[in-house]
Structure formats: C-alpha cells, structure tokens
Amino acid sequence: MNSIRAYLTLTLVIGIGLAIAASIAMSYQRITHETEELYDAELAQISRVLEAVLSIEFEFTGVHISETTHDKQKLIISPEIIAEGEYNKDGHKYEKKLAFQVWSRKGVPLLGSGEDDADLSFSDQPGYSYETIKDKQWRTFVRYSETLSIWIKVSQSIEIREDVTHKIASVNASILLILLPVIFILITLIVRKGLSPLNEINKQISLRGNHNLTPLSFSSVPNELQQVVGSINHLMSSLGAALERQKRFTGNAAHELRTPLAAIKVHAQNMHPENERLTKIQTHIISGIDKLTHLFNQLITLSQTESSTEPTKKEKVDINGLVNEVISELNSVISNKQILLSILIDEKISVQANQETLSILLRNLIDNAVKYVPERGEIRIKAEQLNAKVKFVLSDNGIGLSDEQKTHVFERFYRAASQDTDGCGIGLSIVKEICDRSGYNITLADSDIYESGLTVTLEIPN
C-alpha cells in the first residue's frame, strides 16, 4: 500500500473493529456469568422469602405441618399476560418461567406455583442443580427449613437467563456497531489532521525550484519531521551553493574568453597578406573566430538560462517594438541575402513577460529563419491577440524539417543532416529552455503559406 493515510486509516479501522468484536465476545461471556450469579442469588432469596412468609402464616394460623399426605395442595397460578409487551397491571410474562414448590419433611406437597409446574420433583438434596422439566432446562435451588420442617424448591427456566443475556449483549453490541462508522470518520479526520504537516511541507517544496532555494519553515513541524525538513534544507543549501559557483564560473568564463577572442580577431584583421593563399587563411581565421564567438555566446546564454536562480520579473513588453529591435540587429544579414521580410503585428499588442528572456527567444527564432532561408527568400512574422494569450507565428520558405527532425531539433547540438548552414545547434535548445521556464507553448509545423519551409508557433500567456 503506497498511501500512508490509507494504510493508517485501514489498519486502525480493522484493528478497532477486531477489538470491538473481541469486546463483544468477552462482554457476552461476562454478562452470562454475572447473570447466572444474579439469578442464582435471586433463587436463594426467593426461598428465604417463602420460608419467612410461611413461618408467619403458620404462626398466625397455628397450623402444624403434618407428616401425612394432605388431600390437596395449595396452588398459586400465574395470570395470563395477553397484553402487548412484556407486562401489564396483573404481572409479567416471565412468571410462567419461574416456579417453586414446598414439601413437608417427608415429601408431602404443600404449596406450588401452578398446575403446569406441579411436576417439580421432590428433592432432599439442598443446593443448586439443573433439572429437565418437560424437555426444558431449569435451574433449581433447594433448601430445608429446620424451623418449619419443610423443603423449599425454587426453579427458573434457563430460557429467561438466555433471553436476558442475549438482550443485554445485543444492546451492547448494537451500540458498539453503531459507533463503528463514527469511529471510522473520527479516524479518517484524525489521520488527515495528523498528516497535514506532510501536505504543508509538500506545498513548500512545490514552490521551490532553482529560482527559489530558501529553507523550508520549521514552524508547526512535528518532531518526527524536523529531521527530514532539516535534511531537505541542507540539500537545498548545497544545491544553491553549487548553482552560485556555476553562475560565478559562467560570469568569469564570459569575461576571460570574450577578450582574447576579440583580440585574436583584431590581430587577424590587421594582417596584410601578401598573396591570395594568405588572404584565404586570414578569411578562414576570422570566420572561425566568429563561429567560436557565436558558439561561446550561445553556450553562455544557455548556461545562464538554465542556472538562473532569480525569479523572472515580468513587465509589459511591446511585441512589435521587440521584433523590430531584433530585426535591426540582423539587418545586415537580411540585406545581404535580399530576404523579403513581412511583419504583421498590431502596435497595440503587448504581453506580460520578462523582456530580456523574451528578446533572447525571439532573436534565436528569427536568426534561425534568416540563416536557413535561401537567397531572396521570404519570412513572415505575425502576432495576434487571442483571449488571454498572444499567438506569435513565424513562417519561412526554407528547406524545412522532416517529422523526425522536428522531434529532435530542440536537443542540444542537434543539426539536421540537410542543413549545411553555419550554426552550433544550441539556438533552439535555448528557445525550449526559456519556454519551459516561462510557461510558453511552442510548436513546429510545415509552412502553411509557402510551398516549403517551416512555421513556428509560439503562444505566450498574457
């Protein structure tokens, strides 16, 4: 079971259910035992009451118990309880399940509880015992009165005891079973409340990232989770230190490498080759330095984008102005290739975004399109407002990409075999990284306005 909450709830409910079942069984046994003792005491008490009552009657009437058989014994007949329920003004239905008999010392019947119970057998063995009367079990108590010289036998049907025991046990069991759903609800609420600190910690962790590595709060954290929170905070502290070292390295590398590359290019340009062979070598050196500088700049940009720990600051960005700014940077290449550029962007369109990262993203997209369209090629840039987002569409009539190439083109250093234009294969990796971090959606498709080429669609939430 993967859920701690489900495990705790289920095991506690099963455990308490088994405890309730065991409690019901033990309660039934205890009730049976106590009921037996109570009714046994009642039988003994009834026999003493009978002895006392008969003693008063014999003393008042002056009757002497004869040793010979009487003509007829006196019977006390219980009333018929026919009213609904267990009793009425005449008595209780359980009277039929109680019986007594009084005999003389020689076993002459003197007094009985009713005709149905007249066949209680005479016994001259005092104490408790069980007796079968008309195929039913009865509990009996016999005592001998030395004062009156009589035997008193009090009997009670086992059915009464079982009936009372079952009723008491049923009431107890029903109460416990009714409480079981309540206990289940309470357990569920208690477990949920007990695990709420985990949800709070999970919420705090979900808000963290490489842009937010602040320690988790220890407030309201139970003792059992303080060590876990401490370990997480230590891990984030180590991660923050590592990211900071990487950031410093990137900054130092940018400073240390740009300067010598620029110096090498200047020296190469200041060369005065004496023949055509040296001129070609000079051209290759300058071209190689430009490629290396471009690759270096792209790597630095990718590294800074990935390792940035600062939250993205959003502001109102004019899409038309940003696109024109990027175009102006690439204007020399566009002019040299005589590219026909169409910009269809409403001047009123703007988005809430980080201007720096959005500028890097658009520059890489437009730079790719400029590189891969042929001489006198065409590029169309369009942006429109759609509900709560801005849709930016860039189409060109270049060689385009196959379906397989579209699935790999965002990978680092991936270059399609059909592309012979200079590049380092990092531009679209930067684009993808910015989209993932900023929540933009980017898709690639075949051009829908040119016979060949690629259409890049960028959706920016506003």
User: Mind listing the pLDDT tens digit for each residue in 43-60?
Assistant: 999 889 888 888 887 777
Alpha-carbon distance 254 to 295, whole Å?
Answer: 12
* pLDDT at res. 68: 45
- For the chain, the C-alpha Rg in angstroms (whole number) is 51
Residue partners of 294: CB distance under 8 A and separation at least 6:
424
pTM of full prediction above 0.85: no
**Is pLDDT of 62 > 70?**
no
What is the SS3 assignment for 395?
strand
- Per DSSP, 81 falls in state -
The total of other beta-carbon atoms located within 10 Å of residue 251's CB is 13
Cα 414 off chain centre by: 42
Domains of the chain are 4-79+89-169 (3.30.450), 223-307 (1.10.287), 315-461 (3.30.565.10)
The percentage of residues in the chain with a pLDDT greater than 70, rounded to a whole number, is 80
Phi (first) and psi of residue 394, to 5 degrees: -120, 120
Single out the residue of 142, 170, 136 nearest to residue 154, CA to CA: 142
- Please say if the pLDDT value at position 88 is more than 70: no
Tokens (6 digits) for 215: 């320690």
User: Mind listing the pLDDT tens digit for each residue in 10-56?
Assistant: 888 888 888 888 888 888 888 888 888 888 898 999 889 888 888 88
- Mean pLDDT within 100-125: 79
CA 144, 150, 151, 156 torsion-angle sign = negative
